């Protein structure tokens, strides 16, 4: 119980997003700065940890995007929230098969946690990669941003609507150090922002990714000035349904949202319709929102698995297909995860979306 108080940092109460920002990303005691979350021994596994084929498909998508932009000599690639660096490690291996692309690529990683940065440095071991604090460092060349499970890990705000008024959920630290949920009238600024989205009209329990949208705003600005696009893959939905999607996991099991603070991962499902509306409002073109299964199949993941399987022993083959099923099956990650591409160009057709 005593541990609860340290996440409040001298405040009696905090909005949901500020509270979980401390719980997850505080430089000393935050989950992502004090624990290694990934893999069988950790708390959760993401698609790059399930199957290397997932990462190979992302590599192909990036190389094809470089071709779509006319094979520029300087091509910026930014991974958002690279976690343990597994995805980037595989990308770099695949990129070696495309020498002209390999020469042109400039890779940047965008990461908030110092512990994750250390882990990425250890796992990737490539001196040409740069860690970005500020997007303004990139001045020329088209730019591609991509992130797997990046937006679902940025804490959201929660509101309820009562008779047209918005009230924001806060957590309050009680005298006995228990945490209580309370609602306070939303700020005029937040209410105005929320009411400007058609997607959030008539919704009475609203999840608003204010910090995620602020990050997106900087990304969009860069895409518009340099030309480029953004690929997002995340656990999410198309139609908001008044649901509270905040969830916590420890050791691969669901956990009460306020238990094991600092020792559990906390995420929310991404509202893809809201992202879509935000991109359009900010002058990007949205191609499509499709399930992860469709995206990976369009990129040829099944054909690739057949080729690899030919050289394998039976047990390895079984393992390969089991893992493939996990990322493609509609009941598992295949439909729950969605993919969106937003671009500064009306005309460009992106692999996986237009095939």
Ligand X SMILES: C[S@@+](CC[C@H](N)C(=O)[O-])C[C@H]1O[C@@H](n2cnc3c(N)ncnc32)[C@H](O)[C@@H]1O
Question: Which parts of this chain interact with ligand X (CB under 6 A)?
Answer: 32, 46, 48, 81-83, 87, 110-113, 116, 148-150, 153-154, 215
Compare residues 32 and 159 and give the one whose CB is closer to ligand X.
32
Nearer to ligand X, 83 or 300 (CB): 83
Minimum distance from residue 165 beta carbon to ligand X (Å): 30
d(CA 234, CA 183): 28
CA 283 from chain centre, in angstroms, equals 21
- Closest approach, Cβ 157 to ligand X, in A, equals 15
**Residue nearer to ligand X on the CB measure, 81 or 291:** 81
CB of 21 to ligand X, least distance (A): 9
176: burial class by Cβ within 10 Å (0-12, 13-18, 19+)?
Answer: exposed
Of 14 and 24, which CB lies nearer to ligand X in the complex structure? 24
- Minimum CB separation from ligand X for residue 216, in Å? 11
- Sign of the C-alpha dihedral, residues 129, 135, 137, 139? positive
Q: Which residue has the tokens 């099956």?
A: 329
Q: Which residue, 270 or 289, has its beta carbon nearer to ligand X?
A: 270
Measured CA distances, 59 to 17, 79, 135 (Å):
33, 12, 22
- Helices (H) then strands (E): counts for the chain: 15, 16
Number of Cβ atoms within 10 Å of the Cβ of 180: 11
Give least dist CB 82 to ligand X, A: 6
The Cβ-side half-sphere exposure at 86, using a 13 Å CA radius, reads: 16
Q: Which residue is nearest to ligand X (CB)?
A: 81
Comparing CB distances to ligand X, the nearer of 23 and 154 is 154
Instruction: Describe the crossing of helices 210-226 and 272-281 by its angle, rounded to 10 degrees.
Output: 40
**Dihedral angle of Cα 174, 176, 177, 182, to the nearest 10 degrees:** -20
Residue 17 or residue 149: which is nearer to ligand X going by CB?
A: 149
The distance of closest approach from Cβ of residue 285 to ligand X in the complex, given in angstroms and rounded to an integer, is 25
Could you tell me the smallest distance in angstroms from the CB atom of residue 166 to ligand X?
24
Between the alpha carbon of residue 120 and those of residues 67, 86, 112, the distances in Å are 28, 8, 12
């Amino acid at each position: 119980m005593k541990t609860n108080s340290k996440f409040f940092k001298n405040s009696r109460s905090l909005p949901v997003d500020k509270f979980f920002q401390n719980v997850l990303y505080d430089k000393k005691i935050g989950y992502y700065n004090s624990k290694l979350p990934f893999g069988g021994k950790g708390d959760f596994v993401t698609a790059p940890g399930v199957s290397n084929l997932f990462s190979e498909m992302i590599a192909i998508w990036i190389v094809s995007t470089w071709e779509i932009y006319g094979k520029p000599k300087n091509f910026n690639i930014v991974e958002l929230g690279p976690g343990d660096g597994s995805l980037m490690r595989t990308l770099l291996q695949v990129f070696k098969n495309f020498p002209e692309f390999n020469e042109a690529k400039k890779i940047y990683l965008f990461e908030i946690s110092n512990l994750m940065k250390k882990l990425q440095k250890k796992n990737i071991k490539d001196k040409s990669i740069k860690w970005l604090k500020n997007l303004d460092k990139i001045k020329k060349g088209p730019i591609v941003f991509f992130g797997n499970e990046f937006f679902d890990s940025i804490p959201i705000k929660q509101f309820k609507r009562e008779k047209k008024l918005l009230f924001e959920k806060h957590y309050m630290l009680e005298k006995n150090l228990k945490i209580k949920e309370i609602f306070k009238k939303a700020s005029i600024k937040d209410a105005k922002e929320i009411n400007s989205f058609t997607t959030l009209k008539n919704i009475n329990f609203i999840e608003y990714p204010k910090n995620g949208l602020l990050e997106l705003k900087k990304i969009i600005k860069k895409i518009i000035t340099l030309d480029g696009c953004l690929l997002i893959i995340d656990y999410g939905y198309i139609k908001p349904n008044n649901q509270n999607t905040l969830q916590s996991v420890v050791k691969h099991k669901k956990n009460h949202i306020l238990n094991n603070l600092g020792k559990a991962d906390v995420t929310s499902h991404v509202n893809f319709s809201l992202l879509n509306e935000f991109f359009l409002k900010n002058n990007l073109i949205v191609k499509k929102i499709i399930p992860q299964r469709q995206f990976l199949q369009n990129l040829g993941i099944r054909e690739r698995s057949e080729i690899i399987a030919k050289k394998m022993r039976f047990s390895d083959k079984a393992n390969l297909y089991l893992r493939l099923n996990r990322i493609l099956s509609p009941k598992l990650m295949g439909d729950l995860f969605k993919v969106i591409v937003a671009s500064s160009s009306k005309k460009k057709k992106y692999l996986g979306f237009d095939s």
